[in-house]
Amino acid sequence: MPAELIDGAAIAREIRDEVARETAALVARGVRPGLAVILVGDDPASAVYVQSKGKACEEAGMHSVTIRLPASTTEPELLAHVDALNADPAIHGILVQMPLPKQIDPDVVIRRIRPDKDVDGFHPVNVGKVLIGDRDGFVPCTPAGVQELLLRSGVETKGAECVIVGRSNIVGKPMMALMVQSGRAANATVTVCHSATRDLAAHTARADILIVAAGRPRMITGAMVKPGATVIDVGINRVEDASTKSGYRLVGDVDFESARQVAARITPVPKGVGPMTIAMLLSNTLRAARQALAS
Ligand code: NAD
């Protein structure tokens, strides 16, 4: 029987509705959560992401600010904007859209954002908090979304063999830190595979939970999946497809058709992990506002 689909779009909708309700309650107490997004340059994909983040914020009843800067912006100029947002009490979350133009060091920018406004969870303080299991920190939105998908789909994670493919700072490593904790939707035995891993299939084939974030279109085939596994495909890759109007389509890092015949549960691409990222950004912003109110 083909795998059951984990409907990321529906689960993300559920979370966004919850966030909207909780935002309204906070507004009634006099605080409107505010998110500022800075976009430097004119990368078309980044512009689309930034626009949808702003729209999602407004839909949730949050205050949304988008700062668009030219590609020629210098590092000190960008840092001055970050400083102003750090000091602005109406802003609870700050996000600088990556990638940045070459003249700007992303690490310097990330370290400049106040950790308590770093809703992307990339500041070293938040990275450390996630590693030690301190839930006061902000978890990067994509791995947080994957964990929420597991939780809300009722996937048993305790003691499970969880194999993560990819070790990036935005997905693979924080995913590892989340799944290894002793809390709920975690408590797994975690293996992280990467580009130097020998015999990738030997690892993936023993995964009860397989999370793939490698940026390699359809690299995980059904033959590499354990029968009955839960497969979470983080990958978003554009591949050429002459049959579509745009000439391309989006595929994951998992070969959906073959993996679906073997797995028990699987996320599609699109409408799997993708919509969860924005939902978790809203959730992080709400929490940043709550924490600001409490402090
Ligand atoms: P990245 O390029 O920073 O990292 C890719 C990782 O995959 C590396 O750690 C590398 O070691 C590993 N890798 C590459 N080839 C491999 C191989 N043959 N075997 C094993 N490991 C291999 O990527 P990223 O930023 O983590 O993104 C990964 C994918 O997830 C991309 O397709 C990206 O578009 C997607 N993504 C989606 C979302 C979302 O919102 N759904 C968010 C972030 C990233």
Main-chain phi, psi angles of 181, to 5 degrees:
-65, 165
| Fold of the 31-120 domain | Rossmann fold (3.40.50)
pLDDT > 70: percent of the chain: 100
Q: Strand pairing partners for 191?
A: 163
What is the C-alpha to C-alpha distance for residues 90 and 78, in angstroms, rounded to an integer? 19
31-120 against 141-274: fold identical = yes
Ligand 1 centroid, distance to 62 Cα (angstroms): 31
Test site for ligand 1: of 46, 149, 163, 168, most ligand atoms within 8 A of the Cβ: 168
Ligand 1 centroid, distance to 56 Cα (angstroms): 25
pLDDT mean over 90-104: 97
The pLDDT value recorded for residue 11 is: 98
Ligand 1 centroid, distance to 167 Cα (angstroms): 8
Report residue 79's pLDDT band, with 50, 70 and 90 as the boundaries: very high
Residue of 117, 61, 109 lying closest to 89 (CA atoms): 117
Residue of 238, 237, 230 lying closest to 266 (CA atoms): 230
The burial of 107, by beta-carbon neighbours within 10 Å (0-12 exposed, 13-18 middle, 19 or more buried), is given as exposed
* Domain map (residue ranges) of the chain: 31-120, 141-274
| Fold of the 141-274 domain | Rossmann fold (3.40.50)
Q: Is 295 a residue whose pLDDT tops 90?
A: no
Q: What is the mean pLDDT of the chain?
A: 97
Atom of ligand 1 nearest to the CA of 237: 32
Pocket residues: Cβ below 6 A from ligand 1: 142, 165-168, 170-172, 193-195, 197, 200, 213-216, 234-237, 273-274, 277
